[in-house]
Amino acid sequence: METKSLTCAELGAALGITAAGAKRLAIRHGWHKVQGNDGKARVAVPIERLEVERPVSSDDTSAPR
């Protein structure tokens, strides 16, 4: 399985969730965590999980009125 190493904040941004939600998701799935040289924890996220489409928000303010 191919993985990508991301911080919880990066994972959250990629999935459209909060960093705290991303951390809970990583714990729930048991994804491997390592401490980076910068002191930030990084999670090995399966690439397939990052390719999942996010739902489109219904409160799009860019739509013409």
* Within-domain flag for 57: no
pLDDT at 62: 59
* Within-domain flag for 56: no
Looking at the DSSP bridge assignments, the partners of residue 6 are: 43
Which domain covers residue 20, as residue numbers?
Answer: 3-50
Tally the domains of the chain.
1
Query: Mean pLDDT for each consecutive 10-residue tract of the chain (65 residues)?
Result: 94 95 96 93 94 62 57
* Within-domain flag for 12: yes
pLDDT at 15: 93
* Within-domain flag for 64: no
Q: Which residues touch 40 (CB under 8 Å, ≥6 apart)?
A: 7
* Within-domain flag for 55: no
15-53 burial, b at 16+ Cβ within 10 Å, e below that, comes to bebeeeebbebbeeeebeeeeeeeeeebbebeeeeeeee
* Within-domain flag for 42: yes
Alpha-carbon Rg of the chain, whole angstroms? Answer: 14
